[in-house]
Homo-oligomer: A and B are copies of this chain.
């Protein structure tokens, strides 16, 4: 496993994103137990796969730092980016159902993840049944996120999709204490396009137009949002929210 280092005991308590991984109020003893289970931290270089579609499901992963995309692929080579994930978000939930991952997860920058091995998850739930409701809740939120992507793909025009995408990123960065109006895109135009059901040229053109219209400033991967309000009115209906 190249570029991979296993650390021992990263401790959730020292992680500034713990409340993002486990947003619901946990009792002290429950949290301590959880912390003990998440004992492995894994580092990935940009471009490395965290898991691949078809592999046996081994773990859920909470992202500690960095940025990931997940994608499903078809037999004929097409693929669809199904999500972008940042600190405090959970990936791998699609693997639980059939004990096999159905998507790829790829690091889009050097990243660090906290691993929740499946067998330990089992033990944990056995001993702390209340915790299982937290996991059900997080999976439910993933379903809600997916519903919103369906809404976007099924109903919205190119500029609405882009606006929704930028605002969603903005909101999630804000929640993590980063600037919501000045950030660097971690993914390529092609990956944005795949996620939004558009071709990369359309993504590029639409961003350029937003730039001309003074809604945003685009400097390659660097984005500054100037008129968030106008972007919001563009996405009238869609209530995309991070998780």
Contacts and interface: CB of A to CB of B under 8 A. Distances in A.
B144 A102 contact: yes
B96 A137 contact: yes
A78 B140 contact: no
Contacts of A126: 129-130
A220 to B, nearest CB: 24
A136 B133 contact: no
Contact of A74 (B98, B194, B239): B239
Contacts of A97: 137-141, 143-144
Given A82-B150, A122-B133, A137-B96, A239 B143 contact: no
Contacts of A196: 154
Instruction: Report copies per complex.
Output: 2
A18 B143 CA distance: 24
A223 interface: no
A151 B126 CA distance: 36
Contacts of A129: 125-127, 129, 132
Given A80-B151, A237-B74, A139 B139 contact: yes
A125 B133 contact: yes
A159 to B, nearest CB: 15
A146 interface: yes
B94 A143 contact: yes
Interface of A: 72-78, 80, 82, 93-98, 102-103, 122, 125-127, 129-130, 132-133, 135-144, 146-151, 153-155, 194-197, 236-239
Q: A-B pairs with the 4 shortest C-beta distances? A: A74-B237, A97-B140, A132-B132, A146-B146
